[in-house]
């Protein structure tokens, strides 16, 4: 769980995770929050079973850096990012895990655009997401409907060997590109989505969308060398 200034929602998010009927290892990466998130994590860490590990970044490095720190520390068989902002419902994780458990998939994407219930918000955000997914699909030859989704469940042995380098929101683009380049079997399932407004703390802006377009080209046309692609 990457967290940057999520004091208003992080406790509720962690308590929702605790209700999920899976054996979870919960790792929170506090990306140099300045709003009291760290103090909340200190208090919650004393509660048995609520979270196992807190990683702290001395400076704000971005979502990608936070995810890479969490991936490196994880010891489970499947890894997924759970944003601390309550936009994604942890109760859906068991259903998303099923294709991996059944041996059908190496990764499962939870799609916000496959017809699941969702809060009605920003038209241009949806247009931007659809456009970025289309361009990404053109490079990866995948038929995803939601490349930018936070919910990407990936087998840990595969995820840990992917050469991820993104520091900020480009991690979603890079992870998708690397999974495609590794020949991963990817499934997509619909999820519910309760998006936030900017007044409620949403952080991503149009600048991140422009950067994502650059990242699509960069990560797909310039993959790193090495044996990481072999399954």
* pTM to 2 decimal places: 0.88
Residue 89 structural domain: 2-221
pLDDT at 199: 56
Q: Report CA 41 to chain centroid distance, whole Å.
A: 20
Q: Do residues 173 and 212 make contact, with C-beta atoms less than 8 angstroms apart? A: yes
User: What's the pLDDT band for 231 if we cut at 50, 70, 90?
Assistant: low
Share of the chain above pLDDT 90, in %: 71
Whether residue 132 lies inside any domain: the answer is yes
pLDDT at 58: 96
User: What's the pLDDT band for 116 if we cut at 50, 70, 90?
Assistant: low
Both tokens of 29, joined, read 């990466």
User: What's the pLDDT band for 189 if we cut at 50, 70, 90?
Assistant: very high
Whether residue 176 lies inside any domain: the answer is yes
Number of domains in the chain: 1
Whether residue 230 lies inside any domain: the answer is no
A 10 A CB-CB count for 230 gives 8
CATH code: domain of residue 21: 3.90.550.10
Whether residue 226 lies inside any domain: the answer is no
Whether 47 has a pLDDT exceeding 60, the answer reads yes
Mean pLDDT of 8-14: 93
Mean pLDDT of 203-224: 82
Whether residue 229 lies inside any domain: the answer is no
Whether residue 210 lies inside any domain: the answer is yes
Mean pLDDT, the chain, rounded, equals 90
Q: Choose among 221, 204, 60: nearest CA to 139.
A: 221
Share of the chain above pLDDT 70, in %: 90
């Amino acid at each position: 769980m990457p967290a940057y200034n999520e004091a208003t929602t992080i406790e509720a998010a962690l308590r929702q995770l605790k209700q999920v009927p899976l054996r979870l290892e919960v790792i929170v990466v506090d990306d140099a929050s300045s709003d009291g998130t760290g103090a909340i994590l200190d208090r919650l860490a004393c509660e048995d079973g609520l979270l196992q590990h807190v990683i702290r970044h001395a400076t704000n490095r971005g979502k990608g850096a936070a995810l890479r720190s969490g991936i490196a520390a994880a010891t489970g068989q499947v890894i997924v990012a759970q944003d601390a902002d309550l936009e994604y419902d942890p109760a859906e994780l068991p259903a998303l895990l099923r294709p991996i458990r059944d041996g059908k998939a190496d990764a499962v994407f939870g799609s916000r655009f496959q017809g699941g219930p969702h809060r009605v918000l920003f038209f241009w955000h949806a247009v931007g997401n659809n456009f970025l997914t289309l361009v990404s699909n053109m490079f990866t030859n995948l038929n995803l409907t939601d490349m930018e989704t936070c919910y990407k469940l990936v087998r840990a042995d595969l995820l840990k060997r992917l050469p991820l380098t993104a520091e900020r929101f480009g991690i979603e683009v890079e992870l998708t590109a690397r999974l495609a380049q590794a020949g991963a079997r990817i499934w997509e399932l619909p999820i519910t989505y309760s998006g936030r407004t900017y007044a409620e703390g949403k952080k991503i802006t149009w600048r991140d969308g422009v950067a994502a377009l650059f990242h699509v080209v960069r990560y797909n046309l310039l993959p790193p060398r090495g044996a990481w692609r072999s399954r």
